Structure 1
Amino acid sequence: MGVLKLNSNFEINENVLRKYTGSDAEVCVPEGIIKIGAGAFKRSEAISATLPEGLITIGDDAFLECRKLEKINIPSTVRVIEFQAFSGCESLREISIPDSVELIGSYAFMNCKSLKEITLPGNNCSVCDDAFRGSGMEKLIVLEGKTELGNRMCYGCSELKTVILPESIETIGNGTFTNCSSLSDINLPDGITSIGSSAFLMCEKLGNVKLPKNIRKIGNLAFGGCNMTEVVIPDGMMTLDKCPFGVDLKKITLPDSIVQIDLDTFTGCRNLEDIEFSKANDFMYCFLETPFSKK
């Protein structure tokens, strides 16, 4: 079937909007469209866009680097927001993600510098790696039902100050909040069992965090570069990986359940003054380059 041109601004084929060729500030996508095709609005001059109900997919690069785009709706029928769909939309101020969305692709909202608040639906939609990387978000709200935060999801969101997580969260991925330099506090629900490598790396303002009681894994450098001075490891945790905490650590409490500590777990923790063991285990080799290595 050939390309149907509804008018000089839209190229549509089999209910897929393949290309927008106009230069209007306000764009209204026609009814009946089920997919915005790859790169359809790429680098367009649109300031606002209205998408129709019935739309299912927003394709790869659909609105890539639409630098003037300030406002767009995502209809309640959309299921998939693909790779880099809104990446580089640096003027986009707000976005409402409906419960219908099942997948948010990698880099979907990367470098959306004006985007201030994101609410992720509680339908456990899959959020791919780097989805909001480098965005301007100040507040992240995750609704009840979601169980996992993806790798590097908020990497480099330097304005992020508030993160609200539901009790349903079980996993924080690798690098999820790396370089979120404005984040000073976070409540980690007790249902979390795994915090990935570099999850909070270089969150320089992040102070003491109460670890979830069900935590079983804290990855390498999970809290590296943070301002944590005191850590209590909950009972049930069995192993500690390399350098999970920052160099400002002064006190740590280890439970009975700990059976293995990596050789480099506390390497470089030169301010460490107080270690509390619940039972006599020989862990002194783990405290190289700390004050205890000289005793």
Structure 2
Amino acid sequence: MYQYYYKTKDFGICLMEAVGAGEEAIIPADKEILIVGDDLFKGHKELERVEFPDTIIEIGGFVFDGCEKLKSVKLPANLNDFWQYAMTRCGIEAIEIPGSVARIASFTFNQCDQLKTVKINEGTEKILAWAFRDCVRLEDVYLPTTIKEISDKAFEGCPNVKIHRK
């Protein structure tokens, strides 16, 4: 069970800290949380499932770093941005990225060595260099028609990746 701590800023509410432990973290939808701060679940090796409310528009850096057992993350439908290293070194096997994310930043999914499948929804336009660096098991990436730019280094260290375009 996690207890959450927030900070109110000029721009709105930021989720700053998660204290406790558990296999599941469901972020409460009773507040208008806009941003998930850095390192929120960093090192929580027991964490398996996370669900964010749709009010969140940004996920900070290193939020899931070292969450080796993390298998399921429900991203907010209105997410605009992942910061660098947001999902780095976590255990997710599949992820669906909402189309509200205009670009996937460098190192967002760095060293997610269990990641096999990525589905990016209509609306996303860019995948920056090293966005999926060293995702050694990544096999299938499903791209929307809105993708305009993919760095030639976006999938560096992903030896078996296949890009599927609509």
- TM-score bracket for this pair, using the shorter chain length: 0.7 to 0.9
Are the counterparts in 2 of residues 85 and 109 from structure 1 also a CA contact under 8 Å?
Answer: yes
- Alpha carbons of 1:188 and 1:10: their partners in 2 closer, same or farther (altered >3 Å)? closer
Are the counterparts in 2 of residues 101 and 125 from structure 1 also a CA contact under 8 Å?
Answer: no
Are the counterparts in 1 of residues 140 and 164 from structure 2 also a CA contact under 8 Å?
Answer: no
Post-superposition Cα deviations, 1:9-40, rounded to whole Å, max 9, x if no partner, equal 8585xx439xxxxxxxxxxxxxxx93221xx2
Q: Which residue of 1 aligns with 2:160?
A: 182
Q: In structure 2, what residue type is equivalent to 1:16?
A: K
Q: Which residue of 2 aligns with 1:24?
A: none
Q: Which residue of 1 aligns with 2:104?
A: 127
Give 5+ residue unaligned stretches, structure 2. Answer: none
- Alpha carbons of 1:120 and 1:128: their partners in 2 closer, same or farther (altered >3 Å)? same
Find the residue that maps to 1:186 and give its secondary structure: strand
Q: Which residue of 2 aligns with 1:156?
A: 134
CA–CA distance in structure 2, aligned partners of residues 124 and 10 of structure 1: 28
CA–CA distance in structure 2, aligned partners of residues 121 and 182 of structure 1: 24
Post-superposition Cα deviations, 1:250-272, rounded to whole Å, max 9, x if no partner, equal xxxxxxxxxxxxxxxxxxxxxxx
Q: Which residue of 2 aligns with 1:49?
A: 25
Query: Would you tell me which structure has more strand in proportion to its own residues?
Result: 2
Across the aligned residues of Structure 1 and Structure 2, the Cα RMSD in angstroms comes to 2.3
CA–CA distance in structure 2, aligned partners of residues 95 and 125 of structure 1: 19
TM-score, normalisation: structure 2: 0.85
Q: 2:75 aligns with which of 97, 103, 124?
A: 97
For the pair 1:16 / 2:11, whether they are aligned, the reply is no
Identity of aligned residues (%): 23
CA–CA distance in structure 1, aligned partners of residues 103 and 110 of structure 2: 16
Are the counterparts in 2 of residues 133 and 157 from structure 1 also a CA contact under 8 Å?
Answer: yes
Computing the radius of gyration from Cα coordinates, the structure with the larger value is 1
Are the counterparts in 2 of residues 41 and 64 from structure 1 also a CA contact under 8 Å?
Answer: no
Q: In structure 2, what residue type is equivalent to 1:84?
A: F
Q: In structure 1, what residue type is equivalent to 2:137?
A: E
Q: Which residue of 2 aligns with 1:106?
A: 84
CA–CA distance in structure 2, aligned partners of residues 155 and 137 of structure 1: 11
CA–CA distance in structure 1, aligned partners of residues 134 and 25 of structure 2: 27
Find the residue that maps to 2:73 and give its secondary structure: coil
**Aligned residue pairs, count:** 159
The CA deviation at 1:64 is 0.8
